[in-house]
Structure 1
């Protein structure tokens, strides 16, 4: 049975953007086929169409963006003139930052944060800020007050999180690429829910944002969500030309699959004791068969981390919530009001307070996970896993107003594969490889060796070429112009 058209939304149109990815759009601007002004105007029109439906934008700068697009020579770089959004936990000069929380009064930033500066140096035109759940703690972009950000594939379902607004905007066709960041899966989860490519880089691959620098275990990486592998590869290559971490092997610009035969480990169930749901398992197993047909060796492997990892990461998650409440006035602004944080933040804070004495050992083990993972990866080029423990849930399932014990249980069942890459610092990529019975994307995850984003991109190119994933209503976009 086909999904009712009324539950889907997109704004692909017969305008200056068409259905181009960022690479194609940048080339059309560079050759003069379309102007940056025409593209920016088209993106703004799409954003206005999408705003009341998917609710992915929290702050806009449309007139300044138009003005910027009209200035000759104002856009330089490989993606000059391509419109984008920056996530609302990252400062952009002249735009407010609210962190998705009612406890924070958004203040206009006086400077652009280090990663946003690195990204925007590629020539993108920033249209505004995209939505996220409070402080990025949840796996669905649903505020306790206000409207949720909706999944364009089915408006009754979650778009994932924490980079939910970014993923919804890219999937719906508002922009071809958007900023995302990832402290436990927040690039890969919304990419998986919305049928996008989402790569979490190796720790230290891009410049650290302010929030990452003071953490005892730096679990945060910044990146992008895109509709094509080449956009992600192009972003990463040009980010590397702006900042090169000499402790990591260079990636370069990856343009396609390699001819190497790879040995890929297969993990179907998480170590947290919750089995993967049948539809997700089937998608991962089918992807393994695709890889074998491409000549790779795929074999089951043990989860490359200690059995204590889920509890240790949960405690660290709670520590972050405790830190936000305890130090919010210093971290954000003197008028930070901890009484206005949502139920998830409060619950994580309480959970941490009851177990805080375990933190030193948990941090030691989380730091040690880098070595455990590296040892397991000696015999493998990559690991194939689900992104999530089950298919995308409907809105409300992960709402912060759900009683904390229930919500926490749901989150640990759902977000059971992505945190490992954050603690170990390994690169990981989400790719849409299937479709659920609810006609929503189902994605798989590949994790790589430290510093080896190249292999992940090569795998992604091969799967994209041999088993291309759908773009939302791509076949019908022209009829909606």
Structure 2
């Protein structure tokens, strides 16, 4: 299989060719290796080298033999060292077992070929770390692919891989999807497993899934991996139909709320406003009702609570690893803002966490009421199309913990709300900027609303297709 043929196939199409014997899984794996190698020198999206051979997987799974990569954070494979983007872990610490989602990826047939880059412990809207250097956006290598799943997004956008693992604690699936012209779904809390290592990672904010180039791949992967494991905190009802079927059918007439103003008043680039407004007009042309509206909640209290969640998470991660490895925390092993956040998190009390939980509850109730009157909420994914390499520098000693938090969420003011509420949200490509950069638009749904979001996203993919857009750094 030639790279130029491979790069134009999504995961669903590749799986079909392998399943029907038109191409062998080994041939696809060899092509994927060549494709990743061809672009990674410019993108720096991998952590370490490609594996000598793809990790074991079920060849008869729905994506049997489809090349895949795992982000170097949270989800892990037996025996594969994980670094979490941090010098604290050195060359990586291997787990003695797969976590549950990794087992499901293997069962689905994904042939994992390597690990993708993340910022330190995932707390950045760019994928840059002292440990691994900056990952670059294939549309413009002076720009970031976003974060924290930027390594995965860069390889999928460059068409070196059709799909890759990603996770999202404040927008980390949707931000890089928006910055790189991809489809990035954050499912409903509990739709994908976080076991056995976690019950509610990041106080419930952390969600695991993938980034893809097509809506049908997004839906098909969700069909393959969703569901609870024994002992899970959340057990969701099964969807009314398969997610793939939902993505392939037109939705009923929906009431769509449009908002291009950031909830906290952060400035929004005209390109991002335009992308959302043009998507709204397409939705109107498709027969949906569009009104200007947004949920009302206490944004200051929301950010205080979210800051508590993130800094407590970073303190737990850094201090826990420090104790386990016998390595004192310092600037020698942690970036400046990570250390500042961990130090702040270590000062928090149980009352601080309960206060954050009460705020999250109030916000979630307010947003749920909003979705009693609206089916979908349409926003820009981020406040600008992307950031320059180095703009979101986590090793900036001039920023304290809150200064770093505020800088991240000024760039991404629309995404974190859905992590707090647990509701699903998806980023899809909108109208590109004048520079030709991708600009994402975000669709937020009600709790358990993936079927509606995938149906709308699939409808928009047909109405304003993005499959023929090509980045500057392209496999082959």
Task: Name stretches of at least 5 consecutive residues in structure 1 with no aligned partner.
Answer: 1-11
Question: Secondary structure in 1 aligned to 2:12?
Answer: helix
Structure 2 match to 1:48: 37
Structure 2 match to 1:319: 312
State whether residues 426 and 443 of structure 2, in contact with CA within 8 Å, keep that contact through their aligned partners in structure 1: yes
Mapped pair 1:473 → 2:470: yes
Structure 1 match to 2:379: 385
Distance in 2 separating the partners of 1:117 and 1:136:
22
Mapped pair 1:81 → 2:78: no
Mapped pair 1:404 → 2:393: no
State whether residues 179 and 224 of structure 1, in contact with CA within 8 Å, keep that contact through their aligned partners in structure 2: yes
Report Cα offsets for 1:285-328 as digits up to 9, x if no partner. Answer: 11111100100011112325333212221222122222223322
Report Cα offsets for 1:434-477 as digits up to 9, x if no partner. Answer: 21233210011011111110000000011100101145528997
Question: Secondary structure in 2 aligned to 1:154?
Answer: coil
CA-CA distance at 1:14 after TM superposition: 2.9
State whether residues 166 and 180 of structure 1, in contact with CA within 8 Å, keep that contact through their aligned partners in structure 2: yes
Report Cα offsets for 1:31-65 as digits up to 9, x if no partner. Answer: 11111000000001112112211111114453222
Report Cα offsets for 1:124-169 as digits up to 9, x if no partner. Answer: 1010111100000111111124421110010110011111110011
Distance in 1 separating the partners of 2:99 and 2:327:
20
State whether residues 86 and 131 of structure 2, in contact with CA within 8 Å, keep that contact through their aligned partners in structure 1: no
Distance in 2 separating the partners of 1:180 and 1:240:
14
Distance in 2 separating the partners of 1:115 and 1:368:
31
State whether residues 427 and 448 of structure 1, in contact with CA within 8 Å, keep that contact through their aligned partners in structure 2: yes
State whether residues 103 and 337 of structure 1, in contact with CA within 8 Å, keep that contact through their aligned partners in structure 2: no
State whether residues 138 and 471 of structure 2, in contact with CA within 8 Å, keep that contact through their aligned partners in structure 1: no
Distance in 1 separating the partners of 2:469 and 2:141:
13
Mapped pair 1:443 → 2:440: yes
State whether residues 138 and 473 of structure 2, in contact with CA within 8 Å, keep that contact through their aligned partners in structure 1: no
Could you say if the C-alpha distance between residues 246 and 133 of structure 1 is closer, same or farther in structure 2, counting changes exceeding 3 Å? Answer: closer
Aligned residues: 460
State whether residues 162 and 212 of structure 2, in contact with CA within 8 Å, keep that contact through their aligned partners in structure 1: yes
Structure 2 match to 1:458: 455
State whether residues 431 and 438 of structure 2, in contact with CA within 8 Å, keep that contact through their aligned partners in structure 1: yes
Task: Show the 5 A alignment for 1:98-177.
Answer: 98-105=83-90, 106-177=92-163
CA-CA distance at 1:351 after TM superposition: 4.4
Structure 1 match to 2:424: 427
Question: Secondary structure in 2 aligned to 1:468?
Answer: coil
Structure 2 match to 1:272: 264
Task: Show the 5 A alignment for 1:214-233.
Answer: 215=201, 217-233=203-219
Report Cα offsets for 1:214-262 as digits up to 9, x if no partner. Answer: 5573111111100100000101112237869753351523331325100
Structure 2 match to 1:4: none
Q: 2:282 aligns with which of 286, 290, 303?
A: 290
Could you say if the C-alpha distance between residues 235 and 354 of structure 1 is closer, same or farther in structure 2, counting changes exceeding 3 Å? Answer: same
CA-CA distance at 1:94 after TM superposition: 2.4
CA-CA distance at 1:352 after TM superposition: 4.2
Mapped pair 1:310 → 2:303: yes
Distance in 1 separating the partners of 2:288 and 2:133:
45
Question: Secondary structure in 1 aligned to 2:171?
Answer: coil
CA-CA distance at 1:280 after TM superposition: 0.7
| Coordinate RMSD, CA, aligned | 2.5
Mapped pair 1:334 → 2:328: no
Mapped pair 1:91 → 2:83: no
Could you say if the C-alpha distance between residues 18 and 33 of structure 1 is closer, same or farther in structure 2, counting changes exceeding 3 Å? Answer: farther
